[in-house]
A and B are shown apart, each in its own frame.
Chain A
Amino acid sequence: MTTTFDLIVVGGGINGASVALFCARAGMRVALIERDQICRGASGVNAGTLTLQMTRVALIPYALEAHAMWANAPEWLGHDVGVVVCDGLSLAFTEGEEELLTYRAARRREAGAPIEIITGTEAQGIEPGLGASVRVAGWCPIDGFANAYLTGLAYRRALVEAGVALLERTIARGVDETEPFVVNTDRGPIRGRRLVIAGGVWIEPMLAWLGVTLPIKVLINQLSVTERVAPVMRTQVGIASGLLSLKQYPHGTVVIGGGWQGWGNRETGRSGIVPDSIIDNVRLACHAIPALAEARLARSWTGFEAETADVLPAVGPVPGIPEAYVCGSIHSGYTSAPYIAKLLAQCILGQEPERLLFPIDRLILQPASAATVS
């Protein structure tokens, strides 16, 4: 292990894999350390929704760029992740939801998302599968979804082609030195001049290796999928509150999500569903698309999603440690990751990123306040 890499990326989710890919393509010698396999965590089990109607307003310009990237993934990634670009609808069934939807759609429109409010009848024209009780809907022609479980295969091929040293099934345990960085792993030390922390919900313990305290809230998102069924819908469907995401894949399965919470533990890595909240999520789905009730549930699962105190990304340099960076906790992070990771890669490569990063200074607890919090 005498090689000194130009860059070590810890965590092989969509964020780490994208940063590694762009830096390697720009000529850097990159090592990617992944405890499990590439994109098998959140990045391989997420709902793959590429919607602007659930994206935070501040992230809309980024998500728009990222959507365009996903729409032609084979071009820049080189491989297919089953992206379908289609209309997106966000539904309001009650007066309260109508108010919420109208307000939120307007804010997102200001930020650049082409969302229009349409009547229930118009919505049914776009999505014949809808139930009768839709009052109004937010309609956005820039929407769609990817097939998240293909992310690992696509990225793995791209990373191998770009010459990234893929260290799968390798557990990073700490950072022993910083100039250059020496990452301590269960397979020995890995040396590199630069370091990117991209461990999903585990960026908190990873940043602690560098003496930085950045609290991350751990969300345990649940998803369900039905067996293959005859077409019941043709759009990506959500609701005003953001608590539903629903689409049918070309092969016929319907994925039901929306951020309903399961149980889980970041330390053990174990997580599971909460039956009552699966049932409520499925009820919402069947309320939106009644024909779904005929389908059978094939599988429900969970994944870990990271959230910062202000629910905005942690993407940028680690203060006080030259050449250390972090990339994670992006809301609707599957959608935006390729673009935001590209911005971070530009920064690492010494270029001016084409858009602002999300520096983490605002999120870091100083030692004194950290002590009072814990």
Chain B
Amino acid sequence: MSYNVNEKGYYGDFGGAFIPEMLYPNIEALRQNYLNVMAEPEFQKEFNQLLKDYVGRPSPLYFAKRLSKKFNTKIYLKREDLNHTGAHKVNNTIGQILMAKRLGKTRIIAETGAGQHGVATATVCALMGLECIVYMGEIDIARQAPNVARMKMLGATVIPATSGSKTLKDATNEAIRDWINNPKNTHYIIGSAIGPHPYPDMVTRFQSVISEEIQWQLKEKEGREHPDYVVACIGGGSNAAGTYYHFLDHDDVGIIAVEAAGKGIQSGKSAATSALGKEGIIHGCKTLLMQTKDGQITEPYSISAGLDYPGVGPLHAHLYKTGRAEFYSATDDEAMQAGLELTKLEGIIPAIETAHALAVFTHKTFKPDDIVVISLSGRGDKDLQNYIDYFNL
């Protein structure tokens, strides 16, 4: 069993490129070029240099002593929150902006939920001097105000998505429509491991620096490259894909995904795609998604803007269907408590997205000598208002 994408762009039954003809030339150009470009020594050099000097990689692998004690297991945190711009998202935007430049594109568009991907995109556009347009759901603009301000300061134009649930799904629709209307000079930097092939694979490869580092960092600390478990939250699945990547074909590493249950899986206000979803097409790829029995995509809900998405990337649909990964979901309340707990025990305020991954301990008990690596995908600065409101701070 392989967990990598095949030459047709599928992970098992999932993936592909279900796109209208208007998008075909750009997607096809990307498909034909992305692996070659990524393999160029010059590209590698520039990418790695920027990750090091600009993003601040490698991100630390931190042994969380007090958290470990509390849950009676060995917990390491992969500190993507310490990256420049505050989340894992920048690994991908650095890669894609270099790709866009090599494809001769001068105008960058992106969608964003929590605003982390929007900020990471606006940042690399400022760095490269390229025009940047970010689509963001109207509701997310309200709940992630600091990131909206950051994008504007970075010179990006933030356009509200006012259709549907006014969140990430709708922002993605608007970005795709923009690309249809601007096929020549524009590159679309998708922010998660979603969309038509080759996006899920390209984003995964750019994010795979996370698991690459975990291997040698864990070797230094524990004398072994493989943890017993890797854990990540899943919105579309980019931090998860990067955290799992080098362990996918190693059965000694357990893979754990935590989705957002919102108010509860059966509450009608949830974003737990693996539990509630069925196979179908969303944003150009075949995957699991939340939908009515007539195939209309339903509105998800999560307190966390970055997990408020009705699908998962095709890799994760495949990991779910084959049983390679264990899937859990954390409610708003469980995630908020887990976020507060990390803050109190370790002095790290996580993004609310990330707090879902930390809530894994309310769902699964690990053995005392298990080594559990958690992707600390982002920091909580952008969520302060939500924490304040929730806990009446």
Q: Do A and B come from the same complex?
A: no
| Residue positions of A touching B, CB distance < 8 A | none
| Residue positions of B touching A, CB distance < 8 A | none
